[in-house]
Amino acid sequence: MTARVALIGHPLRRRHSEMMHNAAFAHFGIDAVYELRDIEPNEVGGFVLETRGEDWLGFQITAPYKQVVMGHLDEIESGASRIGAVNSVVRDRGGRLVGFNTDAPGFRRAIEIELDVEVPGLSAVVAGAGGAARAVVDALVDGGAELVSVGNRTPGRAESLAADFGPAVIAVDLGPAFSTALAGADLAVNATTVGMHAPGAAFDVGALPQDAAVYDLVYEPAETPLLAAARARGLRTANGLGMLVAQAEIAFERWTGVRNAGTVMRAAIEA
């Protein structure tokens, strides 16, 4: 019996997940297939019911269903509860559907490996207050960061994010307060769509200290204006590809027990 996994979302524009997981299944000789399911909102419940079948390992979720899917599962792990979004589900041995979030641990793995950043005691600045920013902030706070300053175009969203994550997280305006936060940061993160959907750089890297690192969650284009400016200043930089691969690697391990699939996955999407 071929085991199954799928990604649900609407619209589904990217094929990275399908490529990464199918390459890893093939490489490790696992008889399983990862498929894309572009479904309507009224089809989510029926889809989740289908995944209770014995052939399913689990599934993944992208916009706009990361919140709504939570109501259909048997258990939500604590990290996903804090973030308020499930992007992966595993069907456990008892057939229960357990929701978790791989964006937060994927982000942490990426910054540690690619930027040599140690999270405990870190001072970080995050641009954005959407779903991805919530995962980034959770990874930083859960990892023991000392201070996380969040700035967002719509200030109220940064304020409610800060309120959800406790005293280590503060909301700052995108004016002089954001530059002050950058001046004291070890790590600055772009968790907005600027550089991908919107033109320009998410923030000015000029205020960052020389030993700071810059992580951009955007991976298409590979070098955003933000990363180009940071690189021109000689700062350590990485784009979101490492996080994309790491979050996939974490889900793959939960479904199959196979660790370190990231190298194969990365090669598949770079090809």
136 binds ligand NAP (CB under 6 A): no
Using the contact rule CB under 6 A, the part of the chain among 4-12, 35-43, 44-52, 147-155 near ligand NAP is 147-155
* Six-digit token string for 194: 């600027």
Count the site residues for ligand NAP by CB under 6 A: 24
Q: Which of 4, 21, 66, 108 is catalytic?
A: 66
CA separation, residue 172 to residues 7, 130, 137, 263 (Å): 35, 15, 14, 38
Binding track, positions 47-86, relative to ligand NAP; x by CB under 6 A: ----------------------------------------
Closer CB to ligand NAP, 130 or 184, in the complex = 130
Using the contact rule CB under 6 A, the part of the chain among 44-52, 74-82, 116-124, 212-220 near ligand NAP is 212-220
149 binds ligand NAP (CB under 6 A): no
Q: Name residues contacting ligand NAP, limited to 232-261 (CB under 6 A).
A: 240, 243-244, 247
For residue 41, how far is the Cα from the chain centroid?
22
152 binds ligand NAP (CB under 6 A): yes
Is 66 among the catalytic positions?
Answer: yes
**Which position among 192, 224, 237, 256 is part of the footprint of ligand NAP (CB under 6 A)?**
192
- Sort 10 into a burial class: Cβ within 10 Å, 0-12 / 13-18 / 19+: middle
* Six-digit token string for 201: 């750089």
CA separation, residue 125 to residues 62, 117, 169, 197 (Å): 25, 14, 10, 21
103 binds ligand NAP (CB under 6 A): yes
Q: Which residues bind ligand NAP (CB under 6 A)?
A: 103, 128-133, 152-154, 157, 191-194, 196, 198, 217-219, 240, 243-244, 247
Task: Just list the catalytic residues.
Answer: 66
